[in-house]
């Protein structure tokens, strides 16, 4: 295999990663276009923890010791760091007030919304004379100055507190009791109506949310459990938002493998109907990567991504939802190689990259105080309710982070690579490559006489050997090893490879187009 010099490789990586330019220019939202081009690198944050000031390092925020949880204002000081990682979109978990009755956790679940037209007072800094709305606008404006768009999360249910105030908004069972989705004891299901009869009261509630976030300057909405409302409901709401801002993005929490409602008797709208209603994108099924054992699963996904380009009148896309706040940390599933695989699949597939806060440094989301009795609570739950290995959305807890420097370097490098080659990745021809080992997947993307080759080992326990068929490649081709650990050897028409457990390799071939 013929490699470029180390100097050239270093130059390429520097070029990839030096594209963040801060500017005070007037912000113009182009998020839909960015998303349709698969050029969004989305970073999911919980403002309560994003820059929480846990000065005594015990993992929780002790307000009695003058510690401060994450707020709109103290989040601003972390934006430079986030932007420099290559992030260009922030997905902010719900900023609505949280319910405190039948609550989960000592601060209340972010998804237990007690109001849809006001902001969560927990996110207000008492160190400023600005109103909470002004503080939220400041945060969004500062993100915009760093060339980052902002998506705000729209909860799918209402808190039990809201039900007590406005019971007419909620679905009832045969006995007249409000319906509970699965085991989410702190929320009740809103009654959005049906395809033929949309509930105008709930629609008005959501229009108030749209008014609020657009007035704050947000660029889009991620709709929690979007499948739980009829397509007609979403179409009217999305059309309403687009009259305010044609570039306003709508991302549906929906998957092509989800076919059932979260509770019996609840509406279920499949992902394709949501896209037809106006959503720009959805989650896909990438969270199943942890269960994929053979290359066929990857190839099937690539095929579906290609079909997505032509299936709808308006362009649609997906996010690389390999891991979210609903998924256990990849570190706990298959170690850091699993996280590296997620990073580079996001960078080389025609998807919008997506990562939760703490992922890039290897946070395992393990909290020492999890599910223990609390000395102090701000709800009627006096336990630190936590989903093990998942980002905490229930308590005032520490800022997220980890110590995996190698993972962080891969994160920054891959994001830079994607931004540098986005047109290539988005518009190139994808070709699944045959491998001699079913646990090894390989694909190429080619354009204008150049190719990117990706090879991955789905066996996270053992190293494997494989021969990858690459049409017309020879040892004379100019190959840049963008990301490798093992050393592949190029022969006539193939690459012979030994991959470490869970290893993913990315090669850039400067003088070969694979068709």
User: Which of 377, 398, 427 is where one domain is finished?
Assistant: 427
| pLDDT over 80 (residue 438) | yes
Do 129 and 101 share a structural domain? yes
Domain contains 407: yes
pLDDT tens-place string over residues 455-479: 999 999 999 999 999 999 998 998 8
Question: What was the pLDDT predicted at 486?
Answer: 83
> For the chain, what is the mean pLDDT?
93
List the 429-432 sheet strands across, edge first. 2-3, 478-483, 504-509, 450-457, 440-447, 429-432
Question: What was the pLDDT predicted at 10?
Answer: 42
Do 481 and 420 share a structural domain? no
Do 453 and 374 share a structural domain? no
For the domain that residue 504 is a member of, what is the CATH number?
2.60.40.1180
Do 413 and 498 share a structural domain? no
pTM: 0.95
Do 418 and 440 share a structural domain? no
User: Which of 427, 456, 471 is where one domain is finished?
Assistant: 427
Do 384 and 309 share a structural domain? yes
Do 326 and 444 share a structural domain? no
Domain contains 78: yes
Domain contains 373: yes
Domain contains 35: no
User: Which of 427, 460, 482 is where one domain is finished?
Assistant: 427
Do 390 and 436 share a structural domain? no
Q: Which of 408, 402, 415 is nearest to 482 (CA)?
A: 415
Domain contains 470: yes
Do 48 and 95 share a structural domain? yes
pLDDT tens-place string over residues 234-259: 999 999 999 999 999 999 999 999 99
Domain contains 33: no
What tokens were used for 371?
Answer: 């599910």
pLDDT confidence tier of residue 436, bands split at 50, 70 and 90 = very high
Do 450 and 402 share a structural domain? no
Do 164 and 290 share a structural domain? yes
- Which structural domain range is residue 477 located in? 429-509
* Residue that is written with structure tokens 């007419």 in the block: 168
User: What is the helix, strand, coil percentage profile of the chain, to 5?
Assistant: 35, 20, 45
Total number of domains in the chain: 2
pLDDT tens-place string over residues 196-225: 999 999 999 999 999 999 999 999 999 999
DSSP class of 355: E
Question: What was the pLDDT predicted at 184?
Answer: 84
* CA 475 centroid distance within chain: 39
515 Cβ contact partners less than 8 Å away, ≥ 6 residues apart: 429, 431, 446, 471
Domain contains 74: yes
pLDDT tens-place string over residues 325-363: 999 999 999 999 999 999 999 999 999 999 999 999 999
CB 46 within 8 Å of CB 93: yes
Question: What was the pLDDT predicted at 26?
Answer: 87
Instruction: Please give the residue that has the higher pLDDT: either 58 or 18.
Output: 58
pLDDT confidence tier of residue 24, bands split at 50, 70 and 90 = low
Domain contains 25: no
Supply angle C-alpha 489, 492, 497, rounded to 5.
25
Instruction: Give the DSSP H or E segment for 465.
Output: strand 464-469
| CA atoms of 454 and 60, how far apart (whole Å) | 41
Question: What was the pLDDT predicted at 8?
Answer: 40
What mean pLDDT do residues 173-196 have? Answer: 91
Q: Which of 109, 107, 184, 68 is nearest to 374 (CA)?
A: 107
pLDDT confidence tier of residue 9, bands split at 50, 70 and 90 = very low
| pLDDT over 80 (residue 168) | yes
Do 364 and 478 share a structural domain? no
Helices (H) and strands (E) in the chain, counts: 13, 19
């Amino acid at each position: 295999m013929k490699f470029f010099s180390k100097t050239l490789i270093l130059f390429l990586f520097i070029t990839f990663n030096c594209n963040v330019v801060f500017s005070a220019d007037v912000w113009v939202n182009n998020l839909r276009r960015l998303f349709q081009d698969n050029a969004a690198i989305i970073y999911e944050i919980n403002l309560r923890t994003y820059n929480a000031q846990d000065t005594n390092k015990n993992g929780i925020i002790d307000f009695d010791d003058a510690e401060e949880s994450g707020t709109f204002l103290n989040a601003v000081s972390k934006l430079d760091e986030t932007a420099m990682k290559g992030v260009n979109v922030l997905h902010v978990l719900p900023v609505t007030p949280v319910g405190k009755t039948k609550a989960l956790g000592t601060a209340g679940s972010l998804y237990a919304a007690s109001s849809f037209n006001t902001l969560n007072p927990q996110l207000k800094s008492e160190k400023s004379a600005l109103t909470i709305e002004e503080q939220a606008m400041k945060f969004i404006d500062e993100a915009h100055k760093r060339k980052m768009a902002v998506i705000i999360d729209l909860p799918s249910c209402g808190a039990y507190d809201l039900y007590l105030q406005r019971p007419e908004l909620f679905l009832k069972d045969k006995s007249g009791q409000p319906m509970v989705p699965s085991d989410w004891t702190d929320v009740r299901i809103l009654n959005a109506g049906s395809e033929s009869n949309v509930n105008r009261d709930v629609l008005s509630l959501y229009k108030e949310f749209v008014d609020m976030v657009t007035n704050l300057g947000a660029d889009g909405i991620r709709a929690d459990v979007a499948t739980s409302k009829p397509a007609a409901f979403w179409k009217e709401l999305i059309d309403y938002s687009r009259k305010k801002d044609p570039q306003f993005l709508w991302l549906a929490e929906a998957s092509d493998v989800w076919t059932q409602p979260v509770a019996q008797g609840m509406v279920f709208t499949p992902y394709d109907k949501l896209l037809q209603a106006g959503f720009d994108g959805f989650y896909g099924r990438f969270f199943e990567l942890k269960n994929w054992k053979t290359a066929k699963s990857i190839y099937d996904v690539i095929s579906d991504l290609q079909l997505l380009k032509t299936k709808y009148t308006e362009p649609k896309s997906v996010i690389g939802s390999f891991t979210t706040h609903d998924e256990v940390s990849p570190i706990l599933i298959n170690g850091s190689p699993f996280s590296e695989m997620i990073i580079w699949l996001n960078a080389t597939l025609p998807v919008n990259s997506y990562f939760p806060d703490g992922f890039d440094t290897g946070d395992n989301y393990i909290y020492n105080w999890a599910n223990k009795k609390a000395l102090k609570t701000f709800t009627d739950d006096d336990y630190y309710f936590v989903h093990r290995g998942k980002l905490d959305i229930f308590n005032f807890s520490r800022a997220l982070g980890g110590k995996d420097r190698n993972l962080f370097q891969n994160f920054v490098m891959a994001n830079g690579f994607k931004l540098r080659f986005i047109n290539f990745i988005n518009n190139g021809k994808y070709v699944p490559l045959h491998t001699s080992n079913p646990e090894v997947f390989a694909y190429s993307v080619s354009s204008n006489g150049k190719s990117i080759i990706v090879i991955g080992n789905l066996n996270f326990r053992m190293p494997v050997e494989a021969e990858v068929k690459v049409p017309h490649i020879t040892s004379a081709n100019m190959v840049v090893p963008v990301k490798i650990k093992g050393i592949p050897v190029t022969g006539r028409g193939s690459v012979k490879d030994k991959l470490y457990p869970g290893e993913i390799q990315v090669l850039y071939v400067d003088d070969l187009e694979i068709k």
